[in-house]
Amino acid sequence: MEQVTAATVKQAGKVIAVHLSYQSRADQRGRTPAKPSYFLKASSSLSLTDSKTERPAGCELLAYEGEIALVIGTAARRVSVEDAWSHVGYVTASNDLGVYDLKYADKGSNVRSKSGDGFTPFGPGLIPAADVNPTALRVRTWINGEPVQDDTTAGLIFPFSQIVADLSQLMTLDPGDVILTGTPAGSSVAVPGDVIEVEVSSAAPDLSTAGSNTAGSNPAGLSTGRLRTVVVQGETQFADFGNGPKATDSDREDAYGSAEAAGLTPKGLSAELKRKLTSVGTATLSAQLRKRGLNNVSIDGLKSTRPELRIAGTARTLRYVPNREDLFKAHGGGYNAQKRIINTLNDGDVLVMEARGEPGTGTVGDILALRAQVKGAAAIVTDGGVRDVAAVAALDMPTFFTGSHPAVLGRKHIPWDTDLTISCGGATVQPGDIIVGDADGVLVIPPSLAEEVADDAITQEHEETYIAEMVAEGNSVEGLYPMNAAWKSRFADWATTHPNPAAQP
């Protein structure tokens, strides 16, 4: 087994990283990709064991990702899956470090967030690829001596041979190139003073999955040794001519792995408030809002793909502006505002879109609507059109929309910005507002009023149940709807034997 040296590091022409490749990580993220996808890291980010890596000044979210790294041994171009492993020279340990504070500036490229000096520690030992079974390797990570990641390549979604073969379809993999093969569950945030260690070793071979990826005898005891990195605090501030650090709670949740791990208050409505709001109709809630002087809180002109469902959630907002071809090139393509907000939705969020009431193009289609559902969104609300309406209507999550249209959003709209105050269907919507919808329509409820509005709406519907029974028995609505003092007294007697089920938690 060879040791990684400075010469080895300098030999790397390119560093290619896989976004998501372990099922344990996919389960943690709530999505399993059908095919592998990649990003590049600067080769200057490579460093040796016992190195010091700076958390840049002003950043709080330096995340570690223990990974198995492949070092290409012989050039590979358009190689088959069956032949791919023979082009791998060595296996070693790596740490795919990155700062989530800068991800917003990358627009999906990971250049700033992942390519800092020392952000790819590498080594310390190089295990010859011919000596191991790639389906039977183990990767482990420790923080200050405590284990935090432990998985084997039996848990890969994409075998190493598939990754090598896939990359070789597009580019020549040259000797010395490094492929970071993804991290398992357990990645989190490191702080200055932390010592991160990563080790790759041989695991017991799984003969049932060996097949074309089997190579070597996988002898027991092969190990890279522990790759050791010390986190230190950077002191040099970012200059104002470039993007500086900026972190949101969504970034913190992603970096730590969960809202709980990040120490965040759970987002969205409480389960009890959501139960209350969905136990009554929007017609009743609208009456209660009107009593409080709120007459312009209805998002008008929409229909639901699932009119039998009632939804309640917290608003996330997206604004479209009218399409202008020169601007669409910069804002409409790639990882645009529409895709970014959908990718950061949380359980119980309602994505509300301002499309200026323009139905002449789709503002969401089947793939992104499915992504919103997978992320846990309660609903999508748009005062524009929907593409692929049959597929969107087949989802469990309802979408409220003006009509269907086959065109993509670029015909009329540019997705411009997110999480700001918008207008949708004639109503003003702010991030964090409570959105309630059913077959009758969609309402915007100020969070400060939600609890009392829900309680009074529950009481109102209980009273109206009694009124309906009395009308069915032949009573006149005069003095009954609304109830005068005499009818209120009778209702009080009736309520003692007919408790309100919606009022019970």
Query: Which residues define the annotated binding site for Mg(2+)?
Result: 388
Annotated binding-site residues read 365-368, 387-388
DSSP 192-235: TT-EEEEEEEE----GGG-GGG--S---TT-B---EEEEEEE--
**Which of these, 19, 17, 10, 15, lies nearest to 48 by C-alpha position?**
10
Beta bridge partners of 156: 22
Q: Can you say whether the dihedral through the CA atoms of 436, 258, 102, 232 is positive or negative?
A: positive
Environment class of residue 234 by beta-carbon count within 10 Å: exposed (0-12), middle (13-18) or buried (19+)? middle
Enumerate residues 6+ apart whose C-beta is below 8 A from 37. 18, 19, 20
Q: Which of 76, 196, 70, 86 is nearest to 126 (CA)?
A: 70
Instruction: State residue 141 phi and psi, 5-degree precision.
Output: -130, 140
Q: How far apart are CA 66 and CA 359, in angstroms?
A: 47
**Buried/exposed code over 315-345 (b: 16+ C-beta within 10 A; e: otherwise):** bbbbbbbebeeeebeebbeeebbbebbbbbb
Annotated binding residues for substrate, as ranges?
Answer: 365-368, 387
Residue of 343, 285, 347, 350 whose CA lies nearest to 311: 350
Are 482 and 466 contacting, i.e. CB atoms less than 8 angstroms apart?
Answer: no
Could you tell me where the beta strands, DSSP code E, fall in 241-348?
298-299, 303-304, 311-322
Task: Give the DSSP H or E segment for 355.
Answer: none
CB 116 within 8 A of CB 45: yes
* CA–CA dist 213, 211 (Å, integer): 5
Pairing of strands 399-401, 379-382: parallel
Q: Are 400 and 407 a contacting pair, CB within 8 Å?
A: no
